[in-house]
A and B are shown apart, each in its own frame.
Chain A
Amino acid sequence: MSQTVITLERVTKTYGDVRALGEVTLSFPRGRFVAVMGPSGSGKSTLLNCAAGLDAPTSGSVVIGGVDLGGLSETRRTELRRRHVGFVFQSYNLLPALSVEDNITLPLRLAGMRPDHAWLHELVERVGLRDRLRHRPAELSGGQEQRAAIVRALAARPDVVFADEPTGALDRISAARVLDLLRELVDDLGQTVIMVTHDPVAAARAHQTLVMVDGKVVDVLRAPSADDLAARLAGLNGEPRITRIGDRP
């Protein structure tokens, strides 16, 4: 737990005159499952986008894998990202034209890396998609699609996996299975997973939960229960200042 994967140093992000992130300083340790919670518009997704290098912060520095993202071109940022970061999205973002297998290896292909077949085989077995590799995403259930997306995120053995509302589009049982899976990846394989969610049940599966309000991290809870979290969130009264941009429903 001594190593940090990503460090944010006084990161600010503004959209026009709306401030989505206000001087956030954070570091994510390796091998942990961290949840980021907060009401709509609290800056969760902006935090994720900046931490993952998807978006450049307005000010402050983001260091991924020892490299400062500041001043890097879009292309260089992309290259860094695909070496160090994997993504899981609420809407899966599987390309419908590609088979599950091709979807899984797509980031490797984009990065020009050779797939590690043993690793992929292990992952596919673990998520139970071995007999689905030749199918198109449209032929899978939502849970299966998200599991395929998780394999894809891990294919390049990234330092960290970002998950943006990974269970948002899933039913309770599928969601539970996906969360189990994410937790296993951390516990068994030493992965680092950072998950944005506003579901206390989901966040309860993490080692640690950051609570955000108005673009700032206001609380860090260690292994809270879902009820604790729900209570904590309910206590965040007052209208959030940031209402326009920075969060996905």
Chain B
Amino acid sequence: MIRTSLALAGIGGLAAVFFAVLGGMALATAAGVVAESGLRSSVATQRLGRADVVVSARQSLPRKEDLPVALPERAVLPTSLIARLARFPGVAAATGDVSFPAAVIPDSDVPAVEGDPATAGHGWSSLAFTGSLRAGRAPRDPGEVALRQARLGQEVRLMVGGRPGRYRVTALVDAPGLYVADATATELAGRTSGPRASTVDLVILRLAPGANTEAVAAGLRELLGERYDVATGRFIGDAESPGMAAARELLIVLSGSIGGISLLVVGFVVGGSLSLSVNRQRRDLALLRAAGATPRQVRRTIAIQAAVAATAALAPGLLLGYHLAERFGDLLVSTGALPAALFLVYSPLPALAAVLLLAAVVRISAWAASLRVSRASVPGGLAESRSEPREPSKARTAVGLLLMPASFVLSVIPLLVRTEAAVIGPANAALLAVIGLALAGPQLVRTVTGALADRLPSRISAAAWLAVNNARGYALRTAGAVAAMAMVVTLGLSFVLTQTTIMTAKADEAALGLRGLLAVTADRLGGIPDGLLPDVRGVPGVLGAAPVATTTVLTREFAFGDDPGLQDRTALVLGPDAHGVVDLDVSHGSLRELVGASIAVDEHVGAVGESRELVMGDGATVKARVVATYRRALGFGPLVVSRDLAAGHTTRGLASAILIRPAASGAPDFGDLLARWPGVKATESPPIAQAGAFPAEVVVNLAVLVVLLGYVLVAVANRLVATTTARREEFRALLRLGSTPGQLRRMLRWEAVLTAGAAAGAGVALAAVPLTTLSVSFLGRPWPAGPLWLAPACVLLVAVVVWLATALPARRAYTGSR
């Protein structure tokens, strides 16, 4: 049975299936690795390498029927917990650990402290878990410090907790970071008063000798319940950096989006290649039926062919998949979407999942592809086996024809909603349109080429005439290639140009709001130090100055397009001094009121005077009053929180920049200021996270799209090669009937032109509708922003692929044979 099946299929027919499954395996495995990493990966321990157990507040919030949402800002624990934990059986000692911004001011001869300056400072007692004392004695007074690289007794200028000061080095340590006396650390980290009074970031435990770490940890989990995380071993790295959970969440989201679209495309490609293979064997299969095979046996024959090709593709596909995942991980790290410390997890699990998935896809595709041929009556099958099924199913055409205009309805969304959520309009519109095209394609090709054939001028060359008639006669085959190529064009164009258009619109709007502004930043100091703001205001020519920061806030059904659950979004942190500096185009209320628990929101989202409940980045639920509404929500995001509200809910605690409105006459001279504040920089482009720059997710999605579309292209080229090779008989007949080789070549060229032209035309047209509405809404003009050369590039790419995939195999098929 297996031998017969394979003999029927032939190597050529199975090659397409093989490559389709190979690519599918690779994509599925890669998505699996990313998903598993999101669920299971842990961060390499950076700092607390010597801790037995680390207790932290939970850095995520559970969501109903969804993955928990990660809290990117450090959630803190009460100091009272330290004593409780110290008394727990098996625990020898419990130490509270805090982190605070700390940096060596860059003008001294001491090298910079390693690690992120926003969290480089710690209390002395943490050292026991991070490293060891090399020389000197512990810092005791507020003016004393321990560093890795300095001289004992040396005076160094530090920026610690946002305050500049001179510190004397009393100890040299073998540990990352900068250490001050515990009491000083508590104060510098802002734990003596204010919203974070009497809290610590982590509680580090040393266990009694002989205590079982896992047993103690289990006991602690029971004691502490869900609000706290108890980390041991390799999970301690997670506790160290709260942003890691968020990064992992990104991985899960990414794998979801990659997996979803990949599955769709893999199904499409595998199904297509199988139905191609079946079509090629229609006559043989009909003969098989004539020879007494039952429909079931015919289906089994095809299932065996598919299984053999798929099995052969398994191992290389898996290898390719793991390799792809690795590349993908590198890409994520290089775009900053993923911290370098977060490793992807490579286990056999994704491979297993990919195998099961692909097996299901192949099985279903094989069954679907064989249904028609296995059911056909024997004489019907034999007759039909020489040409295509005459009529594409009416229902299929009708659904396809409905989907395409339906996709245009989705394109209206951006006209109604001018937020980032509008992306779903064009993105889904393109997808829907492509599916519609794939369904209605055969009938469309038949109708269009039919009309074309009837209107062809009588003097048209025989080659062109044949090409048109072939396209019509093999509408199914032609439409398959056209739809797949059009998909490449549509998805490629609509995805990229949607992103660039929205990006441009956001940047434009943010630029309007920040027009004429200057900024100073102090990234090397871990944030804007305390005394800098009054100093900036004192510079002649400065009209106003406002510190700005960003934080993550979780909201529930806040803006249009939000999921029903909690959703995290980046929010700008501003104070009342932002009034007159940042121009959010306030419609009601005033930014002056941004004091206490107050927020400003997009005018479409709320009204002045309302009270809104928010979850801050550290998981604290707060109520805030809306004091202003504004129009520039696209450029600045739909939510601005007051500095007072954000205080105590962020890891870093310092502003990231000061925005400066200069007086009308010329730019103020910051020369003196910068000289007084080493490590501070002045810039003309205010660094606001919402504006400008491609977010990492977009880059990543783009990369995924490129891989996917490449896969589709290869698959389509594969199918074209297979169909062309299978037309050998037809070419031979044509040559015998008086066609010159030149005419044959010209016929194939015309066919390629028709296919590529139809694909490019349909692809551009289907992408154009949603992109036009998007551009009208976001840019006020009908064409999108971004690399418009992409359209001709896509068309060219499609044309070249079609041409190569037809011309090359055709040459082999007709030269030297008749």
Chain A interface (Cβ < 8 Å from any Cβ of B): 49, 54-55, 74-75, 78-79, 81-82, 87, 89, 93, 95-98, 102, 106-107, 109-112, 136-139, 152
Contact = CB atoms under 8 A, between A and B. Distances in A.
Nearest to A152: B737
A97 B742 contact: no
A93 B383 contact: no
Interface string B368-397: 000000000000000110111010000000
B470 interface: yes
A93 B737 contact: yes
Given A95-B730, A138-B384, A82 B738 contact: yes
B478 to A, nearest CB: 10
A54 B386 contact: no
A81 B738 contact: yes
Contacts of A111: 738
A74 B736 CA distance: 12
Contacts of A74: 740-741
Residue from B384, B734, B735, B737 whose CB has the most chain A CB atoms within 10 Å: B737
Given A55-B818, A95-B733, A138-B387, A75 B742 contact: yes
A98 B743 contact: no
Contact of A97 (B469, B739, B740, B743): B469
A138 B386 contact: yes
Nearest to A94: B733
Nearest to A97: B473
B736 A138 contact: no
A75 B741 contact: yes
Given A97-B387, A137-B386, A110 B738 contact: yes
A107 B738 contact: yes
B387 A98 contact: no
Contacts of B738: 78, 81-82, 107, 110-111
Q: Which of A87, A89, A107, A110 has the most CB of B within 10 A?
A: A110
Interface in B751-786: none
Contacts of B737: 82, 87, 93, 106-107, 110, 152
B472 interface: yes
A137 B387 contact: yes
A74 B742 CA distance: 10
Given A97-B472, A136-B387, A138-B383, A109 B740 contact: no
Contacts of B739: 78, 110
A111 B737 CA distance: 10
Contacts of A79: 740
B236 to A, nearest CB: 69
A89 B474 contact: no
A25 B734 CA distance: 29
B462 A109 contact: yes
A49 B388 CA distance: 31
A110 B736 contact: no
A247 to B, nearest CB: 15
A109 B739 CA distance: 9
A85 B386 CA distance: 27
B465 interface: yes
Given A54-B818, A93-B733, A78 B740 contact: yes
19 contacts: A54-B818, A74-B741, A75-B740, A78-B738, A78-B741, A79-B740, A81-B738, A82-B737, A87-B736, A89-B736, A93-B733, A95-B473, A96-B386, A97-B473, A106-B462, A109-B462, A110-B734, A136-B387, A138-B383
A55, A97, A98, A102 — most chain B CB neighbours (10 Å) = A97
A96 B742 contact: no
A62 to B, nearest CB: 16
Interface of B: 383-384, 386-388, 390, 462, 465-466, 469-470, 472-474, 730, 733-743, 818
A87 B386 CA distance: 21
Given A55-B818, A75-B740, A87-B736, A97 B462 contact: no
Contacts of B462: 106, 109-110, 112
A54 B469 contact: no
B379 to A, nearest CB: 11
A238 to B, nearest CB: 30
B116 to A, nearest CB: 67
A75 B738 CA distance: 9
A97 B474 CA distance: 6
A121 B739 CA distance: 24
Nearest to B460: A109
B470 A110 contact: no
Contacts of A89: 733, 736
Given A78-B740, A110-B740, A138-B386, 8 more contacts: A74-B740, A78-B738, A79-B740, A82-B738, A97-B469, A109-B462, A109-B466, A137-B387
Nearest to B747: A110
A97 to B, nearest CB: 2
Contacts of A95: 473, 730, 733-734
A179 B730 CA distance: 26
Nearest to A156: B738
Contacts of A106: 462, 466, 737
Nearest to B473: A97
A247 B473 CA distance: 32
B358 to A, nearest CB: 34
A98 B740 contact: no
A103 to B, nearest CB: 9
Contacts of A139: 383
B775 to A, nearest CB: 42
Nearest to B453: A102
A97 B470 contact: yes
Contacts of A55: 818
Nearest to A102: B469
A136 B734 CA distance: 17
Most chain B beta carbons < 10 A, residue from A55, A89, A109: A109
Contacts of A78: 735, 738-741
Contacts of B384: 138
A98 B469 contact: yes
Contacts of B472: 97
B440 to A, nearest CB: 20
A152 B737 CA distance: 9
Contacts of A152: 737
B49 to A, nearest CB: 72
A219 B390 CA distance: 49
Contacts of A81: 738
A199 to B, nearest CB: 22
A10 to B, nearest CB: 23
Contacts of A107: 737-738
